[in-house]
Amino acid sequence: MKKHIPVMVGNSYEIDIRTLGTSGEGVGRYEDFTVFVPNALPSERIRATITEVKKTYAKAQLKEILAKSKNRINPICSIYEKCGGCQLQHLDYEAQLMAKRQQVVDAVTRIGKLKDLSVLPTIGADPPWNYRNKVQFPVGIEKGKPIIGCFAQGSHAIVDTHDCHIQKEGNNAIVNVVREIAAKLRTPIYHEDRHTGVLRHVVGRVGKDGALMVVLVTAVRELPREKEWVKLLRAGLPHLVSIHQNIQTYRNNVIMGRETRLLWGRATIIDMLGSLSFHISPRSFFQVNTVQAKQLYDKVLEFAQLTGKETVLDAYCGTGTITLFLAQKARKAYGIEIVRPAVEDAKKNARDNRIKNATFLVGDATVLMPRLYKEGVCPDVIVVDPPRAGCTEAVLKTFAAMHPDRIIYVSCNPASLARDLAILSTLGYHAQKLQPVDMFAQTIHVETVVLLSRERK
């Protein structure tokens, strides 16, 4: 029997909003039919016009707030409603933290089917503004002038951004100076549909003591008027220490290409996580919120319960940040990563920080971990910080086969985390504590650190 759909495109309805969706939109029901409404908040009654109808849900545009949430505030950003970079500026920060905890709770109970788990209050940022040490904005053209900024929500229309409130001020300075230079030098701007032009993206990084790196991403190998670019960037950015050109000739949405040229200054900038220093190159992965990353890694250390006698294994180690944190408190630390350049960075970071009890290996964790186990490496603790998709079941079974006392799972996606916790539960590892950490204030995203312990038989 075909389900009755009570709403029609173009019609307006009064809807009670109950929760937030995974993109930060309000989720309500009209006659028991789900409706997603951007910019609406839980506990609000609103009037919205239906813009799209599917079999099981509809999307709508907010037209009027009939009963306002006590947690609704005025966004501080003048382009917030156009820009897709933030989703929660209209929600009081304490309520953001509660919503992110609830996101984790909902995922582990609905997707993971796990009950009675201890989900701790979200660790918030202080302050929850100007925290991003990396910017990567597309470049476009509007009325004959260069524009640089975030994409509008759900589109590739660029919203010209002069003062992003979640970026460090050094990154805002980079964006504004590059926009001025592109106009002054009449650098051809990349056209996505026609695949023509030169300047595609601007990538900026802020390091220790405000040091700046600029990366100009171009669609061609030669940057027109390169020497003038270097001269004007140096004049406009007093804290600049590094200028690169990254060459991305492919017709796709990947921001950076494989080839990078140093145009001036140092090859890397340095940033700190706690007492550890890290060299960061244009394509290096490094946490974009260093203050909150320290909170996250401190929680990993707390959950790992290291006494100095343990062997720990970091299964997706990247450039070695978590591995090196663990190595400071462990007898021996191993980092495994499939991307060879990241492992080379990790080895260099270990040398720079004079950490000698960390070993980094290139390869697939499902292959290397059993080999290490056969060679007598028996980790007391395994730490895993996978991509958004989470771990494959084969990887999780590999963890369990090494019989660690504890697994620390760091996740940026509550849905894949919930699925993987359910699998680990069947393998004898049960979640003891879940700690959400707000790494990305004003957005819907949340990191979670989970302590899992081995079932004793």
Contact indicator for 6, 31 with CB cutoff of 8 Å: yes
Number of other CB atoms surrounding residue 115 within 10 Å: 7
The catalytic residue positions are 412
187 and 225 Cβ atoms separated by less than 8 Å: yes
**Integer Cα distance of 208 and 370 in angstroms:** 39
Reported residue count of the chain is: 457
Would you call the peptide bond into 127 cis, given omega within 30 degrees of 0 as the criterion? yes
Helix 414-426 / helix 393-401 crossing angle, nearest 10 deg: 50
Q: What tokens appear for 187 in the block?
A: 């650098």
Whole-number Å distance between alpha carbons of 250 and 229: 23
| Beta strand 12-20 pairing with 45-53 | antiparallel
CA distance 39 to 378: 50
Order of all β-strands in the sheet with 134-142:
158-160, 145-151, 134-142, 199-206, 212-218, 240-247, 259-265
Treating both helix axes as pointing N-terminal to C-terminal, what angle do 414-426 and 93-106 enclose, rounded to 10 degrees? 40
Contact (Cβ atoms closer than 8 angstroms) between residue 89 and residue 413: no
Q: Which residues pair with 149 in a beta bridge?
A: 160
